């Protein structure tokens, strides 16, 4: 499944762009990411074990209790996508027998292994000692780690998160996840790491998580202001990076979100728009909600299509893929395992379709959006299957126009800039027209 995360600022496009403006928090995040890659690269020589896991259902606080260095294969794939390395990796995996029809995150990861496991920063990544298969919201995860296990014979432990088929989390679902944590996940981690589980250590990390989550929510919800001080999709992938990955629960993450919140609060006070790679956005013309992950291989080009037109994404479902915090959930140190279960169960793609549609409609209203844009990702059926119904339903319920574009996560063959640009331009025209019609009607 597609998942967001830690990103270095986008690389320069072919035309030399103006000096990329960055928030302090972006720089801080870049340092954190690079440090984590270095820690991973040197983990084994420093006597540390390595655990790999996925972003949705990421049990970072728990994994840290066992001193594991933490690797997230989706993040590696997207980082390689941003650095234009994923295309070759995907083709290498296809030549090795993997179908052209399946998830390109998986193939980018397998292709990276075939190429000697050189990570995005150029350092060799270690073979994981443990694959923590957090099976949350995406079936492909299961096959992905089975494929890695097949190749490297890594120890694998499954955490099966039931799907919210009826649109709710039941006690039975919560109990099932907690029992797995107690009876299989924690004992396996103890055995592989040689570190005994300490629940107070977990509680401490979760306290840090909750603080960071408060700040993250405040940042994401700042987009309810006019103008929005952030871009809730392209900008948000920087903001969610630390908390969705190897940093949730660390004091560095708490510090990062504190710095970020202060920066954004300041921007709200100054009534400033979002910072784009080409500087602050001057005029906010369109406010959009976006469903679906971004394309990483042409991330900056994609973003530019929006800010050039004065379109700001006020919120996105993708920024909830590693945890839905804006409706009140926080990691709870008083109920640590139950809270981890609720976190896994509540991730965006683990919500059923009616819930996802309700959430988008609520966003459209609360963020005063002009419309919904769906970026449908070929690789990610978890997100994509059914999005055309979502589009109809949201249009029907909100009366706002919705549009549909298609791309892929990290396969450059599936990003057609001209097509997407055309569609976006037509869409912005449509919004403008709707507004003028509404204005005329209101005038009457």
Q: Least distance (Å) from other proteins to the CB of residue 177?
A: 9
What residues have CB less than 8 Å from 421, skipping those under 6 apart? Answer: 305
By CB under 8 A, residue 162 contacts other proteins: yes
Concatenated DSSP letters of 323-362: ---TTS----TTSHHHHHHHHHHHSGGGB-HHHHHHHHHH
By CB under 8 A, residue 158 contacts other proteins: yes
Binding part of the chain for other proteins, among 27-35, 132-140, 212-220, 252-260 by CB under 8 A, reads 132-140
Per-residue buried b or exposed e for 409-435, using 16+ beta carbons within 10 Å of the residue's own CB? bbbbebbeeeebbebbeebbeebeeee
Alpha carbon separation from 76 to 19, 107, 154 (Å, rounded):
26, 12, 18
By CB under 8 A, residue 376 contacts other proteins: yes
Q: Least distance (Å) from other proteins to the CB of residue 106?
A: 7
Q: Least distance (Å) from other proteins to the CB of residue 257?
A: 31
Binding mask 247-276 for other proteins (x = CB under 8 A): ------------------------------
Cα(218)–Cα(268) distance, integer angstroms: 11
Rg (CA), the chain: 21
Residue 331 contacts residue 257 (beta carbons within 8 Å): no
Tell me whether residue 20 is exposed, middle or buried, using C-beta atoms within 10 angstroms of its C-beta: 0 to 12, 13 to 18, 19 or more: middle
Q: Least distance (Å) from other proteins to the CB of residue 167?
A: 8
Cα(375)–Cα(137) distance, integer angstroms: 18
For residue 156, the tally of other CB atoms under 10 A from its CB is 17
Binding part of the chain for other proteins, among 46-54, 168-176, 268-276, 307-315 by CB under 8 A, reads 168-176
The correct pick among 68, 135, 256, 367 for binding other proteins (CB under 8 A) is 135
Binding part of the chain for other proteins, among 91-99, 118-126, 337-345, 365-373 by CB under 8 A, reads 91-99
The correct pick among 183, 266, 426, 436 for binding other proteins (CB under 8 A) is 183
Positions 348 through 367 that interact with other proteins (CB under 8 A): 352-357
Count of positions on this chain that bind other proteins (CB under 8 A): 55
Between 6 and 140, name the residue whose CB sits nearer to other proteins.
140
The correct pick among 245, 384, 398, 407 for binding other proteins (CB under 8 A) is 384
Binding part of the chain for other proteins, among 152-160, 191-199, 290-298, 421-429 by CB under 8 A, reads 152-160
Positions 387 through 426 that interact with other proteins (CB under 8 A): 387-389, 393, 406
By CB under 8 A, residue 191 contacts other proteins: no
Binding part of the chain for other proteins, among 35-43, 148-156, 252-260, 289-297 by CB under 8 A, reads 148-156
Alpha carbon separation from 143 to 70, 138, 140 (Å, rounded):
20, 10, 5
Please identify which residue in the block is written with the tokens 């549909």: 404
By CB under 8 A, residue 381 contacts other proteins: yes
Q: Quick one: tokens of 435?
A: 């507004």
By CB under 8 A, residue 198 contacts other proteins: no
Read off the DSSP letter of residue 376.
E
Between 163 and 197, name the residue whose CB sits nearer to other proteins.
163
For residue 13, the tally of other CB atoms under 10 A from its CB is 13
Residue 287 contacts residue 364 (beta carbons within 8 Å): no
By CB under 8 A, residue 46 contacts other proteins: no
Tell me whether residue 37 is exposed, middle or buried, using C-beta atoms within 10 angstroms of its C-beta: 0 to 12, 13 to 18, 19 or more: buried
Binding part of the chain for other proteins, among 71-79, 139-147, 235-243, 335-343 by CB under 8 A, reads 139-147
Binding site for other proteins (CB under 8 A): 1, 96-99, 101-103, 106, 133, 135, 138-140, 142-144, 146-147, 149-150, 153, 156, 158, 160, 162-163, 165-166, 172-173, 175-176, 179-180, 183-184, 352-357, 376, 378, 381-382, 384-389, 393, 406
């Amino acid at each position: 499944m597609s998942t967001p995360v830690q990103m270095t600022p986008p690389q320069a496009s072919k035309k030399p762009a103006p000096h990329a403006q960055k928030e302090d928090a972006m720089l801080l995040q870049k340092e954190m990411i690079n440090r984590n890659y270095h820690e991973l690269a040197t983990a084994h020589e420093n006597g540390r074990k390595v655990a790999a896991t996925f972003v949705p259902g990421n049990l970072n606080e728990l994994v840290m209790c066992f001193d594991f260095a933490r690797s997230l294969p989706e993040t590696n794939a997207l980082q390689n996508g941003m650095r234009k390395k994923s295309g070759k990796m995907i083709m290498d995996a296809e030549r090795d027998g993997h179908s052209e029809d399946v998830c390109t995150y998986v193939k980018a990861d397998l292709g990276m292994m075939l190429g000697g496991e050189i990570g995005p920063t150029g350092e060799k990544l270690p073979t994981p000692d443990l694959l923590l298969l957090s099976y949350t919201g995406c079936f492909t995860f299961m096959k992905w780690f089975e494929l890695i296990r097949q190749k490297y014979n890594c120890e694998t432990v499954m955490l099966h998160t039931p799907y919210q088929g009826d649109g709710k989390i039941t006690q039975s679902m919560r109990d099932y996840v907690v029992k797995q944590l107690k009876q299989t996940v924690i004992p396996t981690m103890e055995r592989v790491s040689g570190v005994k589980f300490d629940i107070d250590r977990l509680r401490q990390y979760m306290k840090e998580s909750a603080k960071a989550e408060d700040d993250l929510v405040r940042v994401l919800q700042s987009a309810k202001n006019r103008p929005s001080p952030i871009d809730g999709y392209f900008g948000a992938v920087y903001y969610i990076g630390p908390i969705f990955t190897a940093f949730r629960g660390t004091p560095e993450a708490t510090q990062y979100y504190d710095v970020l919140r202060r920066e954004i609060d300041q921007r709200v006070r100054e009534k400033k728009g979002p910072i784009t790679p080409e500087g602050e956005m001057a005029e906010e013309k369109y406010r959009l909600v976006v469903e679906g992950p971004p394309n990483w291989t042409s991330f900056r080009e994609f973003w530019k299509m929006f800010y050039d037109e004065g379109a700001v994404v006020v919120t996105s479902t993708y920024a909830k893929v590693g945890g839905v915090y804006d409706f009140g959930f926080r990691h709870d140190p008083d109920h640590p395992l139950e809270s981890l279960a609720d976190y896994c169960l509540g991730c965006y793609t683990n919500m059923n379709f009616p819930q996802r549609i309700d959430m988008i409609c609520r966003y459209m209203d609360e963020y005063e959006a002009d419309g919904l844009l769906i970026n449908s990702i070929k690789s990610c059926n978890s997100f994509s299957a059914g999005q055309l119904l979502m589009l109809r339903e949201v249009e029907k319920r909100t009366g706002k126009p919705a549009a549909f574009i298609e791309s892929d996560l990290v396969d450059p063959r599936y990003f057609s800039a001209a097509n997407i640009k055309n569609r976006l331009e037509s869409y912005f025209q449509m919004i403008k027209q709707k507004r003028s019609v509404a204005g005329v009607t209101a005038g009457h």
